[in-house]
Amino acid sequence: NAGVTQTPKFQVLKTGQSMTLQCAQDMNHNSMYWYRQDPGMGLRLIYYSASEGTTDKGEVPNGYNVSRLNKREFSLRLESAAPSQTSVYFCASSVVGETQYFGPGTRLLVL
Amino acid sequence: AQSVSQHNHHVILSEAASLELGCNYSYGGTVNLFWYVQYPGQHLQLLLKYFSGDPLVKGIKGFEAEFIKSKFSFNLRKPSVQWSDTAEYFCALISGGSYIPTFGRGTSLIVHP
């Protein structure tokens, strides 16, 4: 039982490059989330998926897209990376209204 | 709209000191409340939670929190901190029927040995 896994752990991009962050959970949770964490800003929700087949914008969706590939997997895509997207990205999953389980994070640096 | 405020952004304590971290929220209905901890370089993990029942909730590693509905508060406490409690602490809530948690901005705790 791995919980929530994320790949990659670290990534360096040049401005304008694209990349996809992968997230998978093996806890049979319906809901999945993508957050970014920046110093002094806490956790900010980018997108979430309440259930398979649905996705919705969170607080800071601009510059990102998501895909809920199936119940287990929820990916986050940066189409054209910008330095402002330098951050630590966390994926999480949960049963609705319950405890969230977080992945180990992806540290992204955009030059 | 719901919101969560953590008043202490940075707290520095010596080992064995007592800890209380404030968390206030704004929402008039039923809430589920959480405290998460993030140790340096790690991901967030659950410390404790309150859904209903006894308003004094005990969590892992000797932490507890008290839900005071009249004050819209869910403060985190520990009678005697250890160096290993150095971490960032996040208060969060989910309102009744919502999919979306709301997090506070976090409190950074440094415990000196």
Whether the CB of A3 is below 8 Å from some CB of chain B: the reply is no
Backbone angles phi and psi of B62, in degrees to 5: 80, 5
Q: Over 70: is that where the pLDDT of B108 sits?
A: yes
Please give the residue that has the higher pLDDT: either A41 or B63: B63
What Cα–Cα distance (Å) separates residue B26 from each residue in A29, A42, B88? 28, 18, 22
For strand B45-50 and strand B31-38, is the pairing parallel, antiparallel, or unpaired? antiparallel
Q: Over 90: is that where the pLDDT of A105 sits?
A: yes
| Average pLDDT for chain A | 95
Q: Which two tokens stand for residue A104?
A: 């180990």
Per-residue pLDDT band at B29 (split at 50, 70, 90): confident
User: B5, B44, B50: which to substitute to probe chain A, counting the most A Cβ within 10 Å?
Assistant: B44
Three-state SS letters, B16-80:
CCCEEECCEEECCCCEEEEEEEECCCCCCEEEEEECCCCCEEECHHHCEEEEEHHHCEEEEEECC
Whether the CB of B89 is below 8 Å from some CB of chain A: the reply is no
Q: How far is A57 from chain B (nearest CA, A)?
A: 11
What Cα–Cα distance (Å) separates residue B43 from each residue in A5, A106, B108? 11, 10, 14
CA pair distance A76, A68, nearest whole angstrom: 9
Residue B8 has a pLDDT of: 86
Q: Over 90: is that where the pLDDT of B28 sits?
A: no
CA pair distance A48, B50, nearest whole angstrom: 23
Residue A42 has a pLDDT of: 87
CA pair distance A48, B102, nearest whole angstrom: 13
**Chain A positions in Cβ-Cβ contact with residue B93 (cut-off 8 Å):** none
- Using CA coordinates, name the residue in chain B closest to A4: B43
Residue A17 has a pLDDT of: 97
Interface of B with A in 1-60 (CB under 8 A): 9, 32, 34, 36, 42-46, 49
**Chain A positions in Cβ-Cβ contact with residue B7 (cut-off 8 Å):** none
- Using CA coordinates, name the residue in chain A closest to B97: A97
If you average pLDDT over residues B43-48, what whole number do you get? 95
Question: Three-state SS for A90?
Answer: strand
Which conformational region is residue B105 in: left (phi greater than 0), alpha (psi within -120 to 50 degrees), or beta?
A: alpha
| Average pLDDT for chain B | 93
Q: Over 70: is that where the pLDDT of B97 sits?
A: no
